[in-house]
Structure 1
Amino acid sequence: MMDELLDLTVGPVAHGGHCVARLPDGQVVFVRHALPGERVRAAVTERRRGYLRADAVEVLQPSPDRVEEPCKYAKPGRCGGCDWQHATPEAQHELKTAVVRELLTRIGGFTVAEVDDLGVRVEPLPGGPLGWRTRVQYAVDAAGRPGFRKHRSHDIIPIDRCLIAHERIQEAPVTDRTWPVKGGGVEVVASSCGDLTIFTRPRGGRTPRLVSGPRLVRERAVGREWKIDATGFWQVHPAAPDALAGAVLDFLQPRPGERAWDLYGGAGLFAAALAPALGPEGRVTIVESSPGGVTAARRNLADLPQVRVVAGDVGTVLGNPRWRSVDLVVLDPPRAGIGREVVAAVTARHPRAVAYVSCDPAAFARDVATFRERGWRLSKLRGFDAYPMTQHVELVGLLTPVS
């Protein structure tokens, strides 16, 4: 519930899809639906010890980067999925770049000069800021209507169309009907090869039920066609797989005969990109804990004899002393990052280079700080706007031993 109104001068952007303002007594207010430099009237939505959260409900002095939100649901108190629809695409890239820079200094321990030397900036991917999302998860309310949750809430806002969804998803027969999975969800996948699949996820995490379309959808990436379970993981932006794999190859510069580890490897995207460069004498080992990811990797890379797939938790697998040495490592962990144990295990094997792919810049900055403690440096960094209109960003960093 919104309560008192505050007149605020908005300060810098912060991680989480909001900007920072301060009350006259210095109390911090995290403000959504605002931009740096604006004067806004904001409604308090949450009170916590030491700070407030608020939504800008009236703009008193707009930023030159402000635009009208294209989606009627991207408003205060409505859908919480998009954070930056009120900013130009160029401003969104600058906001995300500023967040990455701030996290590298505050969490990663970098100096401003070190961040400047990296030249980090968040780059757009091909395509516009709308119609890009190829995998959409709708929540279903008590009346069976699909929609999305409010920001920091379990309340569901029924919708008729999501503008960042792929056009085929927008046209799919989902939002014009009710669903018998109250408290569960409906998911739609529009693959890069033209497949469209709809399935439901019943409440309580029970087995998804296929409604229409193929269970295995076809994707195209790194010059290969993939068959991926519609309920499994794949990048949601159609240009992201090739962009991320291209950055990893450019950073690592793999050589024939080298050995590589693709950790948290999923379906094997990066292994597939590395294998041709390593040649028949090289080897790529994928480590993946998800049974679905292991199955997908074995299915899709069966034609690459230099690739093997190991099922298991990365930390547990690397705890085995038989995993002695490696030349190259790719890290593509879940949002939580890898943690100190895995950093220690990787650096103890003395690879010549590590490519770290991350969808959470805070976790990335924390883990890079741990690499730095162990005598490694972040040599290169690229950011990709793989989630336009939202706060999220993909990073690819190159880590190398200082010695």
Structure 2
Amino acid sequence: MTDAPAPLVLRLGAVAHGGHVVARTDEGRVVFVRHGLPGELVRVRLTDHEPTASFWRGDVVEVLEPAAGRRDAHVWSQADAVLAAAAGTSPLGGAEFGHADLATQRELKTSVVGEQLSHLAGLEWDGHVRAVAGETPDGTGWRTRLHLDVAPDGSAGMYPHRSGELVPVTDMPLATDALRALAPWELRYEGAERVDVAAPSGSAPLLHVSLRADARQEQLDALRERLGPWGEQHGVSVTARTADHRAVGVWTGTGESVETLDLPEAGGHFSWRVSPTGFWQIHRQAPATLVRAVLDAAQFTPGDAVWDLYSGAGLFTAVAARAVGETGSVLAVEGSPVTSADAARNLADAPHVSAVRGDVARVLTGRGPRARGGQRRGHGRATSSRPGGRTGGRTGGSTPARPDVVVMDPPRAGAAKDVLAAVDHAAPRRIVYVACDPAALGRDLGRLRRRGWRVDGVEAFDLYPNTHHVEAVALLRRDG
């Protein structure tokens, strides 16, 4: 890196994937700018500016001509780039669209989804990013989970975008009232490297600390003596994971995080146990919103065979299992050891469900070690077979049935090529693809379209207000 040049005055152009808008210098250099809006005239501090780079990056530090959609005040002062620049600091990540009103945010997200689907999938999308039920007027109060990193002095904080500087957090307006009331950022965590806090729908809040490998025993003893009484006082379960990640201890409370969902159209009441560091949708309305969208797209019928790939703790698995009944079957595959163990526990009473831990591509293709531990059929029976023909049975050791419906919810990077090829080869009646990244969605839909699949619809939901992120559910069926 060279020394930072003086801030540039730029006219901002179109929105780009990743939370940026695009601008050009007088010399024609492309600059990806955060914290701005299309059409604005702004002053930009460059954060990446190598002379030989094909593009630069920067943050807005002053707005000279604001767009109509810019708010008078950012929803989270610590994420406000203009305020941060005035104070000589960097804005925290996690609310990079918080300077725009919600209508403008959704217009930007709609544009990004449409552009990615057009460019990568050859699909012209006429939909729009929709608000979810019960959203607050300013898009705050939705996060039910929060991750904080811990500095050597025990203070909890977050990182600015593309920065290694940990900044102490003083508030988190995107969090639910239950999380904000706990104010976990005000506690000291000497001896810990990370803190995860959850305010689940079906149990008391939970605070989980991951301990440092170099922590002294007296630090850990003091941390437990401090957090245990705090948890009892606030009705919070407190757990801790050793530095080698091999053991989790309960310092106070039940040590459990339970999520619940009541949806008559999905079969009534559901419950999931989620480990402190396991995966669960973070928006308070995300499970209900996505389950409804998946049910509408999948059109499960009794007796169907279902593959739930990248299944997490079993959100869609449980709903599919109830929809297809015990005359059907569900194969749930998850690579994360923690989250796969959650799924196995959550689905242990469903005799027609197989929960398999392993790399999804290896499980479906049979190449290399396909699973490690955690392979469970209902009631804990193990399965070790590769998905095969539709005539396969569903008892331990037999070949699971080929799917009538495939549901996949891959991580931000999208599904592996081998996974898409295996799903295509299995020839289900429907594919339901749940995506948290428009670029990965566009790429994977494009690959499936080239294999003869037709995209029958894409719904997009604003499950991350005040950020650039968006969730989408796509339905695919075979052409012809």
Q: TM over 0.5, yes or no?
A: yes
Choose from 98, 108, 111 the match for 2:121: 108
Q: 1:121 aligns with which of 129, 152, 177?
A: 129
Distance 1:152 1:203, change over 3 A: farther
Does structure 2 retain, via aligned residues, the 8 Å contact 1:228–1:296?
Answer: yes
Cα RMSD of the aligned pairs, angstroms, is 1.9
Provide the rounded CA distance (Å) in 1 between the counterparts of 2:121 and 2:4.
Answer: 35
Deviation at 1:212, TM superposition (A): 4.8
Q: Is the 8 A contact 1:201 1:209 kept in 2?
A: no
> How do residues 252-401 of structure 1 correspond to structure 2 at under 5 angstroms?
252-320=298-366, 322-324=387-389, 325-401=402-478
Structure 2 residue runs of 5 or longer lacking an equivalent are 82-89, 214-242, 264-268, 367-385, 390-401
CA 1:173–1:7 in 2, change beyond 3 Å: closer, same or farther? Answer: closer
Counterpart CA distance in 2 for 1:27 and 1:123 is: 36
**Structure 2 equivalent of residue 69 of structure 1:** 74
Task: Give the AA of the match of 2:201.
Answer: S
Write the distance in 1 (CA, Å) between the matches of 2:133 and 2:164: 31
2:174 to 143, 146, 164: 164
Q: Deviations over 1:194-242 (max 9, x none)?
A: 4111121234764366555432111112521222222211111111011
Distance, in Å, in 2 between the alignment partners of 1:135 and 1:15 is: 25
In 2, the alpha carbon distance for the partners of 1:245 and 1:98 equals: 25
Find 2:147's aligned residue among 120, 137, 149. Answer: 137
Identity of aligned residues (%): 41
| Contact 1:198 1:213 (8 Å CA) reproduced | no
Rounded to whole Å, the distance in 2 between the matches of 1:297 and 1:339 is 21
SS at match of 1:168: helix
The structure that has the greater radius of gyration is: 2
Deviation at 1:79, TM superposition (A): 0.7
Contact 1:196–1:213 under 8 Å retained in 2: no
User: Does residue 1:83 correspond to 2:96, yes or no?
Assistant: yes
**Cα distance, 1:368 vs structure 2:** 0.9
Counterpart pick for 1:200 among 209, 218, 221: 209
Conserved 8 A contact 2:364-2:422: yes
Distance 1:203 1:3 in 2: 39
Letter in 2 for 1:176: E
| Residue 221 (structure 2) aligns with | none
Instruction: Indicate if the aligned counterparts of 1:123 and 1:383 stay in contact, CA closer than 8 A.
Output: no
Rounded to whole Å, the distance in 1 between the matches of 2:251 and 2:33 is: 40
Alignment match, 1:148? 158
* Post-superposition offset of 1:125: 4.4
Report how far residue 143 of structure 1 moved: 2.7
Letter in 2 for 1:164: L
Asked if structure 1 preserves the Cα contact closer than 8 Å seen for 2:347 and 2:355, the reply is no
Judging changes above 3 Å, is the alpha-carbon distance between structure 1 residues 131 and 257 closer, same or farther for their aligned structure 2 residues? same
> Hey, what does 1:25 align to over in structure 2?
27
Per-residue CA shift, 1:265-301, capped at 9, x if unaligned?
Answer: 1221112112232133111111122232232222222
Distance 1:40 1:169, change over 3 A: same
Give the TM-score, by structure 1 length: 0.93
- Shifted more, 384-393 versus 301-310: the winner is 301-310
Q: Tell me the distance in 2 between the aligned counterparts of 1:30 and 1:94.
A: 19
- Alpha-carbon distance in 2 for matches of 1:401, 1:98: 27
2:22 pairs with 1:4: no
The 3-state SS of whatever aligns with 1:53 is strand
**Which is richer in strand?**
1
* CA apart distance, 1:109: 2.9
Cα distance, 1:193 vs structure 2: 2.3
Q: What is the identity, as a one-letter code, of the residue corresponding to 2:8? A: L
Q: Which residue of 1 aligns with 2:289?
A: 243
Please tell me whether the aligned partners of residues 152 and 190 of structure 2 are also in contact (alpha carbons under 8 angstroms): no
Equivalences for residues 167-182 of structure 1 within 5 A: 167-181=177-191
